[in-house]
Structure formats: structure tokens, C-alpha cells
Amino acid sequence: MNKMQKVDRIFRSSFDELVESFFQQPQVKEAEKETLPLGNIGDYIDIYKEKKSLESKVRYLKEQMRTLTAELQAIEIKERELKRNEQTLKEERTHLQEACESKSLFLANMTHEIRTPMNGVIGTLEVLKETSLSPDQKKYLGIIETCAHTLLSLVNDVLDYSKIEANELKIDSVDFNLKEIISQVRDILIFKAQEKGIEFTTHIFHEVPIWLKGDPLRIRQILLNLAGNAVKFTDRGTVAIEVTMAMEDQNETSLLFNVKDTGIGIDEEQTDRLFQSYSQANSEIARKYGGTGLGLAISKKLTDLMKGDIGVNSTKGIGSDFWFSIPLQKQKGTKKHQGDLVQLTKRIQKTDSGKNRELSLLLVEDDVINQKITSILLEKEGFKVTVAENGKKAIETLKNNSFDLVLMDVEMPGINGYETTRQIRQIKSNRFDTNLPIIAMTAHAMSGDREKCLSAGMNDYITKPINMHLLNDIIDKLGIGQSLSGLTPLTEEVLGSSNAAIQMKKLQVLQKEVEERFDLLVRVFLESIPQKLAAIYEAIDTESFEDLRITAHQLKGSCASFYAQNMVDLCQELETRATNPDTEQNTLMHLAKELEKEAHQVVRILKDHFRN
């Protein structure tokens, strides 16, 4: 038995028993004694103390173990609870995603249902405006038109806000001309401002670059929201749009847009709520001026998407200064008129005598009202229109007739527009053109709709109510019906008019003199007009007056050769004013626009009467 075992055995008894074990135990052999020699009791007492200390530590450790075990059990319970919560959150997230998708689908369908009758209303108004109306009827028609466009704007706002919330609205990055954006906003709002007796002005500061890259549609939308509010809340005084440059480097610039007015103004404590959804300064304003409060909220979100900022400085009763700043890329290369030259060429070459007069169009539309209204509008543009009320009828009509273009409604009972297009593309027949251009016509405007139309085999996409300018642009892009054939007879009215764009009798003499070379001269002249006009616009934009003088002089000589006297006079005016350092840029731009307008007439006459 070792020493520790002996100590443990001895100290299992009380101290009295210990003493008794020393003094009363019978004598035994030294080797068999379990008691301790009296002289070593101090050592054994130390060992006893150490043992008790160890026992205490063991008890403490056991207690700690029990505590840790309890805590571990609590952690395990918490972990199971967190896993249950995580699963619940995943399920809720799935439900929310499904709800968002349902909401987006609901909004898409609702906008389709709203836009479809709106297409009929606005289209009918356009037709009605061309009829003979009394002053009172014109007044009431104007009220109806305003209400219709207001309702359509409301639908667009709700749809835009929904698309932003669903992260479906994407910001484009395309080349654009800043002056065109400002001019478009002014053209839209100037008449309302004039009705209220408000002065509406726009100004782009000299240092601001004009040729930029960004999302012109969204910039215009923000400006229309801000400037439209300014006109609405201003009863007298002015509304002004100003554009200045906040920052510039080699490739990028940050522009600051200010919309200033002398309207009702806003209390400082109310400005924080302005950019929140469905919020206006107060309920009295909402009752008096109307509106949903979405315009500024959308502007805020669009600005954020473009990595910009937006705000307002206002004093109640004095006016407001709404502003937003956004970074934009500069267009690379020289002054870049290549893209604008293409667009200008299209504008110049599109004749006023009805470019679409020989285009036959199949309109696939199930709604009777939209059939009638859209047909009238298309026929006014010069199309020869045939109507098919559904997809099945459209396929039958296409098999038996030849068309230049199909305008395909997307939502139709039975076979919808997507499936109809797929079937058209798959038909195998020598008499059937499966590559016939098909343009989707739909009230849908949700993200992915365009891609869905294109994947079905359609060539392009246009929303309801149909914008005829946009439709003509799509036709230009697709190259539909661009060939012109035959000559239009010269009438005595054209030949004898002293105000004609071209002195026709003199030009006929020239035609006889140069004979077969005349067609080549006409072609060269027609090709030079858009190039010269683009150079004139660029010279005015950049204030390169010597370039303007030279270009105007060159164009003047060409116009004189073709007896286009009105263009000669306008070129002479530009040439003269280019030498005057005090000439205002706005004056030069006005002359250039008049020159472009006159060029349209000259091109029309030459293409109609002299080109084979």
C-alpha cells in the first residue's frame, strides 16, 4: 500500500479517530503499520491539505462542467431556433418574390387594360382635331386631351415606380446631344407656361459640353418632372432651366441642372418629405394642384440610379430652386457628328409627299375601337391598311396577300401575338415571306417585354398609344420601303410659283443642257445637303464662326446651281452674320433651322420630279 493510499485511508476518519489510531492501536509489526509515525504528522497534514484543495478544485471543475453543459444545451436549442427562423425567412422571401412577380404581372396587365382604351381616346382626339370645330368645341376638346394625357402620365408614373422598386428599370448609356434634350423639354412645357402668362427660359452655360453619353430619356424625364411642377406651382413670374458644369476631366463631366421658379415656394420643414413616395408638401397643395406625389420620388430614384444627387432650395411665397447633378461621359473622337449626320440624313431624305404611300401594312388587333382609330392614323400617314382581328386570321391573310409590314398586337384571345409570330416564322411556302418585318404593338412596358418580343421573332417593339414619329423611325431603321420609283408630273402650280423652293423652269433648262449627267448632279447635291447642314450645326455649337462662314458659302454656291433661291438667301444671311462678332448664337441656330426646313422642300422636289 503506498503512502498516499495510507494517508487517504487514515484521513477518512475524524481527527479523534486519528489520535486514537496513534495511541490506542495494538502493537504490530513496523512493516504492517497503517498509522503514521508521530514525527511525520506535519508532512501528512500538508498532504491532507493538498488533497482537500484538489478535491475542491475537482468540485469546482465539475460545477463548471455542469454550467458549460447547460450553456451548450441552451446554444443547441438556440441554434435549432435560428435554423427554424432561417427556414421561415427563406419561405417568406420566396413568398415576397412571388408577390413582387405577381404585382409586376398585375401592373403589366393593368397598364395594358388602361392603355388600350387610352389609345382609342387619344387616337380619336387626334382625328377629331382635324375636323371642323367651333371655338367652344376646340376648347372642350383641349380639356379632354389634357385629361387624357394626364391619365396616361399617371399610368406611366405608377409603372415606372413599380419597375424601380422591382429593380427592373435599367439605365442606358448612349450618345446624345444635351441641347436637344433641353429643347424637347422646352417644346413640351412652353405652351402651358404661355397659357399661364409665365416666362419660360432655358440656358446652357458656355463651358458645358454638348455631346455626351448617358441616358437622355431619364434625364429628360427628371427635367420634365421638375420643370412641369415649376410651371404648375407658378402663377406669375418665370420658370428657368439652367445647366452648369460642376466638374470636368478628360473623359467625364458632372453637370448641374437647376430648375428655378417664382412660384408658391415650400416651408423648410416640408422639404424633407418632398422626395418621399406619394408625398406632397401638404394636403392643401394636393387638393388644389392635384398629383400623386410620385414625380419627385421617381426623380430621386432615377438620380440615384445614375449615381447623382437631387435636392431643393426654397422659400415659401418667393420660389424654389430644384436641382440635380449627375456624372456623364464625354463622347470620344472629334466633335462627333457621325451619328447626328445619319439622323439628319434621314430627316432630310424623308419627303413631305408621303414616304409611306406605297407601303401596305397588316394591322393585327382584336379591339374594334383600336382597329378603327389605329387604321385612321396609319392611313393619314399614307399606309394601305388591312385589319386582322386575331392571330389565326392574320396567318390566313398573309398566306393570300403580300404586305410590307405587320403591326402585331401582343395580347389577343386565342393565339397571342408571340405565338402568331412564331407560326409565321415557321411556315414553309414559296409564296409566303417568313422574313416579313413584324413590329410588336403592345401596352406592356415592363422590363423584359422587348426581349420577349424579339425572342419570339419580332423585329421591333412599340408601345400604345402609338407614336407615329417613333413608328416612322422604326420603319427607317428596318429599311422598309425605302425605294422610290417613277416621276411625279410637274404641275403648273409648282412650275409657276414664285415662292417655290426651286425655280423649276430654270432647272428644267439646266436638265436639258446637261442631259444624262443631270441625275448624277442631283445625286451628288442631295448627298451633300445633310453633310453641309451637320457642319453648320457643329460650327454654331462650337462657335467656330470662320468654319460657319466657309460652309455656308459653299452650300450657297451649290444651291444657286440648282436655283434653290430661298436656301441661297438663308446661306447668305448665315455667311454675313458669321463675320459679325456680336451675332447671338440663338440667332444663328434659328437661321440654321430655317435652312434645314427649306432643305426638306428642295429635297422633296428633286426626289419627286427629277430622280429616276
What is the average per-residue pLDDT within 261-283?
72
If one compares 475 and 420, the residue with the highest pLDDT of the two is: 420
Helix (H) or strand (E) segment spanning residue 347: helix 338-349
Q: Between helices 504-514 and 518-541, what is the axis angle to 10°?
A: 130
Q: Domain containing 425 — which CATH number?
A: 3.40.50.2300
Confidence bin at 451 (pLDDT 50/70/90): confident
CA gap 584, 543 in Å, rounded: 10
SS3 253: strand
Kindly report, residue by residue over 469-482, the tens digit of the pLDDT: 778 778 877 767 65
Task: Please spell the DSSP secondary structure of 130-196, one letter per residue.
Answer: TS---HHHHHHHHHHHHHHHHHHHHHHHHHHHHHHHTT------EEEEHHHHHHHHHHHHHHHHHHT
pLDDT of residue 311: 92
| Whether residue 233 is found in the same domain as residue 258 | yes
Helix (H) or strand (E) segment spanning residue 241: strand 238-248
- Please count the residues of the chain: 612
| Whether residue 467 is found in the same domain as residue 513 | no
Q: Is 148 domain-assigned?
A: no
Helix (H) or strand (E) segment spanning residue 546: helix 545-561
C-alpha cell at 320: 424654389
Confidence bin at 393 (pLDDT 50/70/90): very high
How high does pLDDT run on average in the chain? 77
| Whether residue 370 is found in the same domain as residue 275 | no
What is the average per-residue pLDDT within 528-555?
87
Q: Is 158 domain-assigned?
A: no
C-alpha cell at 55: 478535491
The three-state (H, E, C) secondary structure of 437-469, written as one string: CEEEEECCCCCCHHHHHHHCCCCEEEECCCCHH
β-pair partners for 151: none
C-alpha cell at 334: 472629334
pLDDT of residue 478: 75
Q: Is 472 domain-assigned?
A: yes
Q: Is 249 domain-assigned?
A: yes
pTM confidence score: 0.48
Which DSSP state fits 107?
A: H
Final residue of a structural domain among 73, 91, 109: 91
Final residue of a structural domain among 312, 334, 356: 334
Kindly report, residue by residue over 219-248, the tens digit of the pLDDT: 988 998 899 889 989 999 999 999 999 888
pLDDT of residue 444: 56
pLDDT of residue 439: 92
Q: How many Cβ atoms from other residues are within 10 Å of residue 517's Cβ? A: 10
| Whether residue 302 is found in the same domain as residue 389 | no
Q: Domain containing 595 — which CATH number?
A: 1.20.120.160
| Whether residue 269 is found in the same domain as residue 354 | no
Confidence bin at 435 (pLDDT 50/70/90): confident
* 26-35, 208-217, 556-565: the lowest-pLDDT one: 26-35
Q: Domain containing 262 — which CATH number?
A: 3.30.565.10
Kindly report, residue by residue over 374-388, the tens digit of the pLDDT: 888 888 878 899 999
| Whether residue 445 is found in the same domain as residue 356 | yes
Cβ atoms of 259 and 239 within 8 Å: the answer is: yes
Q: How far apart are the first and last CA of the chain?
A: 131
Q: Is 104 domain-assigned?
A: no
H helices of 250-316, where? 283-289, 294-305
Strand 252-261 relative to strand 211-214: parallel, antiparallel, unpaired? unpaired
β-pair partners for 405: 361
Q: Is 432 domain-assigned?
A: yes
| Whether residue 352 is found in the same domain as residue 449 | yes
Domain that holds residue 529: 492-609
Cβ atoms of 299 and 160 within 8 Å: the answer is: no
Q: Is 137 domain-assigned?
A: no
| Whether residue 461 is found in the same domain as residue 354 | yes
pLDDT of residue 421: 92
CA gap 111, 444 in Å, rounded: 7
| Whether residue 378 is found in the same domain as residue 253 | no
Contact partners, residue 401, CB within 8 Å, separation at least 6: 362, 386
CA gap 474, 405 in Å, rounded: 11
User: How many separate domains does the chain show?
Assistant: 4
Cβ atoms of 264 and 317 within 8 Å: the answer is: yes
Final residue of a structural domain among 91, 124, 143: 91
Q: Is 483 domain-assigned?
A: no
Contact partners, residue 573, CB within 8 Å, separation at least 6: 591
Kindly report, residue by residue over 481-534, the tens digit of the pLDDT: 653 333 333 343 444 443 467 887 777 777 776 666 677 778 778 888 888 898
Kindly report, residue by residue over 130-150, the tens digit of the pLDDT: 778 888 888 788 778 777 777
What is the average per-residue pLDDT within 453-479?
79
In the sheet that 438-442 helps form, which strands lie side by side, from edge to edge? 384-388, 360-364, 405-409, 438-442, 460-463
CA gap 546, 568 in Å, rounded: 18
Kindly report, residue by residue over 12-51, the tens digit of the pLDDT: 554 555 555 555 545 544 545 455 554 566 766 777 778 8
* 220-224, 290-294, 430-434, 540-544: the lowest-pLDDT one: 290-294
Phi, psi of 439 (to 5 degrees): -110, 125
| Whether residue 298 is found in the same domain as residue 366 | no
| Whether residue 374 is found in the same domain as residue 438 | yes
| Whether residue 431 is found in the same domain as residue 533 | no
* 84-98, 404-418, 444-458: the lowest-pLDDT one: 444-458
